[in-house]
Chains A and B, each alone.
Chain A
Amino acid sequence: MNKKGTIFTYSIVYSASEAFSDKTPYVVAIIENGEGKFLSRIDDYKEEMNIVVGMDVELIDTDTDIPLCKIV
């Protein structure tokens, strides 16, 4: 799987479900990586960051199946 991609669209989540309520605010995004689109969270979001459509991201290796990307 191509680990490099761009943000197709995104949202910063402030009101989460029970499982994520301790992680807000966090970013969810649809990532386009040339092979298709998939949903991912963007790691380590800070309020001063300016997330925009088209931004380059990279998949981070984690020990779960849940995709997590970082801004590059």
Chain B
Amino acid sequence: MRSVSVIGIGETKMGRLKTQTLKDLIKEAGNKAIKDANIEKEMIQALYMGNFNGAYWSTQSHMGPLASETLGLGTIPTIRTEGACASGSLAFREALIAVAAGVYDVVLVGGVEKMTHQATEKITTGLASASDCLCEADMGATFPSLFAMIANRYFHEYGNIRKEMAMAAVQNHENAMLNPNAQMQKLITIDDVYNGFPVASPLTVFDCSLITDGAAFIVIAATDVAKDRGLNRAIKVIGSGHAGSALTLAGKKTITTFESTLKAAEIAYKEAGLTAKDIDLAEVHDCFTITQIINTEDLGFFTKGQGAKGLAEGKTARDGIIPINTSGGLKAKGHPIGATGLSQIYEIVTQLRGEAGERQIKKADIGLSHNLGGTAATCVINIFSGR
């Protein structure tokens, strides 16, 4: 398989983007990525588009041709990938495989979602479709309630980490203050988290990621092709893993550690020839505060049951040993479902290029992105090297 690099990135500001249509978001982020790659559109040989629920929230399916026409990409093949909140990373992963296999040299990967124009009940119903409709959603289990059940079980097995969960939200909001693309430019306190609306106990609204409009695009190319064109800002993809587990919470072997993360991480670390110790920073899927803490354990940054302690000790802060979600994460940068995985990659690439401005971390050579879909039923992990 050939080495593959990221050669261009682009994203919109995340947030409540009332006046921008899906096409406006695609146009802005897509053209930014193509311009950033410094290539002609004619070089793009395929488009992979991540989108979760355009059909339900925007009555828009067939996202591939929609994006291709919007960006003026002619007759190239397009495909839309769907894996709930991991839809964007799945598009990236499939594009990566195609370029590594030699099918294409240059591919555009995009993700988009528009959510904020819908009422909360319709957002909740749409998100619940990422779980098992008959066995979960139709019985009244909302998406937050599934992760709330994970949190309560975690408390039972490892002790109450309510305070550290709140601290994860506080930290992500601090990071978002330094990210101009973040939706939430506002500091919060631990008390704010405790006193927020109790969406699904023990989670309050401040434990939950945001409802967001946004798009993110990435251009990837065979590393040799990038070198031939003198694209010296290329960031290599050195490891990639994709794994799954049972869709239902009740069907999982364990709910306080995610098997999909363990497996995808094992594959990605092995391919990269690295361990968790070698990672300088990571964007992990903080759909809820409990998820961020579990992810940092599953990825091997902390031993099982010690993730909350690591966070409380500042180890995941921007100046810690393993900075987590320097972008502000899903919690404060925002969670435009289909674009989220690509926005995570946008942050890692920005950091590895040394272009993260005020939030730039000192040692950023190796970065990892971790994206979950559903109740951790899908996991995609990518490892990048800026060396």
Contacts and interface: CB of A to CB of B under 8 A. Distances in A.
Interface residues of B, number: 34
Contact of A11 (B122, B124, B152, B197): B152
Contacts of B128: 17
B355 interface: no
Contact of B121 (A13, A18, A38, A66): A18
A56 B136 CA distance: 21
A67 B156 contact: no
Interface string A23-46: 100101110000011111100000
B17 interface: no
B273 interface: no
Contacts of B180: none
B335 to A, nearest CB: 16
B139 A67 contact: yes
Interface string B143-155: 0110011101100
B249 interface: yes
B201 interface: yes
Interface residues of A, number: 29
A53 B145 CA distance: 15
Given A39-B248, A39-B249, A14 B200 contact: yes
Given A30-B149, A30-B250, A9 B255 contact: yes
Interface string B254-269: 0100000000000000
Nearest to B255: A9
A16 B142 contact: yes
Contacts of A67: 139
Contact of B124 (A9, A12, A16, A38): A16
Contact of A28 (B140, B150, B248, B255): B140
Given A37-B250, A41-B139, A15 B120 contact: yes
A15 B152 contact: no
A36 B148 CA distance: 21
Contacts of B144: 11, 13, 15
A9 B153 contact: yes
B198 A41 contact: no
A59 to B, nearest CB: 13
A9 B150 contact: yes
B139 A21 contact: no
A29 B139 CA distance: 10
A40 B135 CA distance: 9
Nearest to A18: B121
Interface in B327-372: none
Contacts of B39: none
Nearest to B132: A39
Nearest to B124: A17
A28 B199 CA distance: 13
Nearest to B119: A18
15 contacts: A9-B149, A11-B144, A12-B200, A12-B201, A13-B142, A14-B198, A15-B124, A15-B199, A16-B142, A18-B121, A20-B140, A38-B135, A39-B250, A53-B156, A66-B138
Interface of B: 120-122, 124-125, 128, 135-142, 144-145, 148-150, 152-153, 156, 197-203, 248-251, 255
Interface of A: 8-21, 23, 26, 28-30, 36-41, 53-54, 66-67
